[in-house]
C-alpha cells in the first residue's frame, strides 16, 4: 500500500484510497482452530469490557457485530489501530505518526484545531476549577504537538516480541483526543471511537470521565474532499484498538446492515468532538453549543447517514437474543428498511441513526495477506497441538512410573 504526502496542497494529508480491513468468516473452521484465531487476533478483554458497559455491539439485532483487534501497546496504539483498521497491519514504519506530527507542526489548519481544542479544554478546566494563563495555554499546546513526535519516549531492551520476529524497543508518547481529530484530517476521513464514558474502580464505582468516545469529523476539510465511510476504533483501559467487521457466511439467512450507530444504547446522539470553532471570540465560544438538528445536519455533511427501522430488529432480538460467538448464524432473514434520517427530538425512537460502512473497499493485497496469515496460523496451531500431545504423553508416562514405584512399596 503506497502512501505519499500530498505535495499539491502542501497540507500534510496522506493520499490513500478508502480502505477498510475486514476479518474473514471464522465460522467455516473447527471450533478449536476458530478459538485459536480469536485468541490470536482479538482484543478479548476490550470486547468484554465495552460489551458489558453496553457501548459495543448492543446493536447486533440490526447492524453487523464489530470486533476489536489486538493492537500493540507501545504508545503508538492510536496510529497502529488506524493502520490495522484500514490495511490490516501496524504502523511499524510510523508513516501515520510522521504525518500526524507534520500536520500539527506545520499545517495552515492547525490554528483552527488549536481554537477547537482550547474551547473544549476550557470546558473541562472549568469543571475542575482550573484557569490557564495564555503562557500556560501555549505550553499545553506545544506539549500536545510534541507528543505526536516519532522520537521515542524511552527504549526498552530489544527482545523478540512475538512469533512474527518483530523487535520491541521504542516506546512513544500516548496520544489524546485532539490527536484523533488531527488524524481524521490527515486521512480526510471521519473517525468514530467506541469507549465507555466513565473510568470505574473494582466495585464499578465511577472514578473519572473518559473523554475519548464519540465522532471526530475532519471539519477543516471540505466534505467533498473526504471519504464518507468512517474509520472505527475502540478505546478501553487507556488503549486504542482497531474495530472491524467480519465477512458474512455465504449461506447466511440473516442480512445485517454494514453500518454503525451514531447514537448510544439509549438513543442519545454520540458527541461530536471539537465541533465548534469559536473563531476570534475572546471567550473562545464558552457558551456556544450546537442543537441536535445542527449536529445531525453536520453528520450528514461528512457521513452517509441512514435510519435503520427497529421494528423487525426488535422482533428478531426477542426470538433469538443476543448473537453468540463468531460465525453463529441465526435462523430467519432480517430485511432492513433504510431511509434518509429525519428524526425529531423528543419523539419515541422508531429507528437507529447510523453511518453506512463501505466494507467492500479493500486494498489489493487484502486477500493475499489474509491467506498468508491463515497459513502461518494453521502451522502454529498444529505445533501447539503437537506440543500438547507430547506434554500429555509425558505427564501420563511420569504418572505411570510413579504408580509402579508406589506399587512396589506396597507389595
**Looking at the domain assignment, is residue 306 inside a domain?**
yes
Q: Nearest to residue 61, comparing CAs of 354, 339, 303?
A: 354
Q: Is 168 exposed, middle or buried (0-12, 13-18, 19+ CB in 10 A)?
A: middle
Say yes or no: 301 and 379 in one domain: no
Say yes or no: 86 and 233 in one domain: yes
Say yes or no: 306 and 370 in one domain: no
Q: What does the alpha-carbon distance between residue 138 and residue 134 come to, in Å, rounded to a whole number?
A: 6
Say yes or no: 201 and 181 in one domain: yes
Check: CB of residue 294 under 8 Å from CB of residue 251. Answer: no
Q: Is 14 helix (H, G, I), strand (E, B) or coil?
A: strand
Neighbours of 32 (CB within 10 A): 10
Q: What does the alpha-carbon distance between residue 181 and residue 233 come to, in Å, rounded to a whole number?
A: 13
Q: Catalytic site residues? A: 74, 77, 239
**Looking at the domain assignment, is residue 380 inside a domain?**
yes
Q: Is 95 helix (H, G, I), strand (E, B) or coil?
A: helix
Q: Nearest to residue 261, comparing CAs of 197, 353, 330, 172?
A: 353
Strand partners, 351: 309
**Looking at the domain assignment, is residue 5 inside a domain?**
yes
Say yes or no: 357 and 377 in one domain: no
**How do the pLDDT tens digits run along the chain, 411 residues long?**
444 444 444 456 676 667 899 999 998 999 999 999 999 999 999 999 999 999 999 999 899 999 999 999 999 999 999 999 999 999 999 999 999 999 999 999 999 999 999 999 998 888 888 999 999 999 999 999 999 999 998 876 654 444 444 445 799 999 999 999 999 999 999 999 999 998 887 777 888 889 999 999 999 999 999 999 999 999 999 999 999 999 887 666 666 789 999 999 999 999 999 999 998 887 777 778 899 999 999 999 999 999 998 765 544 444 333 333 333 333 333 333 334 334 334 455 678 999 999 988 787 888 899 999 999 999 999 998 888 777 765 666 566 666 565 666 555
Q: What would you report as the CA-atom Rg of the chain, rounded to the nearest whole angstrom?
A: 24
Q: What does the alpha-carbon distance between residue 247 and residue 263 come to, in Å, rounded to a whole number?
A: 24
Q: 3-state DSSP: the chain helix, strand, coil percent, rounded to 5? A: 40, 15, 45
Q: What is the pLDDT of residue 392?
A: 64
Q: What does the alpha-carbon distance between residue 114 and residue 139 come to, in Å, rounded to a whole number?
A: 12
Report residue 142 as a C-alpha cell: 506545544
**Looking at the domain assignment, is residue 336 inside a domain?**
no
Say yes or no: 186 and 202 in one domain: yes
CB neighbours of 403 closer than 8 A, spacing ≥ 6?
A: none
From residue 47, give the alpha-carbon distance in Å to each of 42, 51, 52, 58, 65: 8, 6, 8, 12, 11
Looking at the structure of the chain, the number of domains it has is 2
- CATH number for 34: 3.90.70.80
Report residue 286 as a C-alpha cell: 464558552
Say yes or no: 129 and 6 in one domain: yes
Strand partners, 216: 191
Say yes or no: 116 and 213 in one domain: yes
Domain containing 403: what range?
A: 366-410
- What are the two backbone dihedrals, phi and then psi, of residue 174, each rounded to the nearest 5 degrees? -70, 150
**Looking at the domain assignment, is residue 31 inside a domain?**
yes
Say yes or no: 275 and 396 in one domain: no
**Looking at the domain assignment, is residue 322 inside a domain?**
no
Which contiguous run of DSSP H or E holds residue 67?
strand 67-68
Say yes or no: 306 and 378 in one domain: no
Q: Is 309 helix (H, G, I), strand (E, B) or coil?
A: strand
Say yes or no: 374 and 264 in one domain: no
Say yes or no: 359 and 384 in one domain: no
Residue in this structure with the C-alpha cell 492510536, named with its chain if needed: 78
**Looking at the domain assignment, is residue 329 inside a domain?**
no
**Looking at the domain assignment, is residue 100 inside a domain?**
yes
Amino acid at each position: 500500500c503506497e502512501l505519499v504526502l500530498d505535495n499539491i496542497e502542501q497540507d500534510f494529508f496522506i493520499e490513500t484510497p478508502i480502505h477498510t480491513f475486514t476479518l474473514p468468516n471464522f465460522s467455516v473452521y473447527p471450533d478449536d482452530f476458530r478459538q485459536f484465531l480469536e485468541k490470536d487476533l482479538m482484543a478479548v478483554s476490550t470486547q468484554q469490557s465495552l460489551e458489558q458497559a453496553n457501548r459495543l455491539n448492543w446493536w447486533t439485532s440490526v447492524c453487523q457485530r464489530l470486533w476489536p483487534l489486538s493492537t500493540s501497546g507501545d504508545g503508538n496504539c492510536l496510529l497502529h489501530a488506524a493502520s490495522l483498521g484500514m490495511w490490516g497491519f501496524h504502523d511499524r514504519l510510523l508513516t501515520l505518526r510522521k504525518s500526524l506530527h507534520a500536520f500539527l507542526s506545520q499545517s495552515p489548519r492547525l490554528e483552527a484545531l488549536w481554537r477547537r481544542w482550547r474551547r473544549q479544554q476550557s470546558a473541562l478546566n472549568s469543571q475542575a476549577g482550573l484557569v490557564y494563563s495564555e503562557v500556560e495555554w501555549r505550553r499545553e499546546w506545544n506539549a500536545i504537538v510534541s507528543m505526536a513526535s516519532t522520537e521515542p519516549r524511552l527504549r526498552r531492551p530489544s527482545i523478540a516480541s512475538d512469533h512474527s520476529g518483530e523487535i520491541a524497543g521504542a516506546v512513544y508518547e500516548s496520544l489524546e483526543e485532539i490527536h484523533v481529530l488531527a488524524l481524521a484530517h490527515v486521512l480526510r476521513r471521519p473517525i468514530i471511537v467506541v469507549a465507555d464514558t466513565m473510568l470505574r474502580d473494582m466495585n464499578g464505582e465511577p472514578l473519572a470521565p473518559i473523554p475519548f468516545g464519540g465522532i471526530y469529523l475532519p471539519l477543516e476539510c471540505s466534505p467533498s474532499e473526504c471519504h464518507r465511510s468512517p474509520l472505527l476504533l475502540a478505546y478501553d483501559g487507556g488503549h486504542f484498538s482497531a474495530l472491524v467487521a467480519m465477512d458474512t457466511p455465504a449461506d447466511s439467512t440473516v442480512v445485517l446492515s454494514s453500518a454503525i450507530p451514531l447514537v448510544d444504547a439509549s438513543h442519545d446522539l454520540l458527541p461530536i468532538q471539537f465541533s465548534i470553532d469559536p473563531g476570534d471570540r475572546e471567550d473562545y465560544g464558552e457558551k456556544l453549543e450546537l442543537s441536535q438538528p445542527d449536529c445531525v445536519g453536520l453528520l450528514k455533511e461528512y457521513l452517509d447517514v441512514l435510519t435503520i427501522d427497529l421494528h423487525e430488529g426488535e422482533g428478531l432480538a426477542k426470538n433469538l437474543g443476543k448473537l453468540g460467538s463468531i460465525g453463529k448464524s441465526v435462523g430467519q432473514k432480517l430485511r432492513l428498511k433504510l431511509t434518509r434520517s429525519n428524526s425529531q427530538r423528543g419523539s419515541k425512537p422508531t429507528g437507529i441513526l447510523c453511518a453506512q460502512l463501505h466494507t467492500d473497499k479493500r486494498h489489493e493485497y487484502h486477500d493475499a495477506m489474509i491467506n498468508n496469515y491463515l497459513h502461518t496460523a494453521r502451522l502454529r496451531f498444529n505445533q501447539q497441538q503437537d506440543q500438547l500431545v507430547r506434554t500429555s504423553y509425558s505427564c501420563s508416562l511420569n504418572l505411570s512410573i510413579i504408580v509402579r514405584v508406589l506399587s512396589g512399596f506396597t507389595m
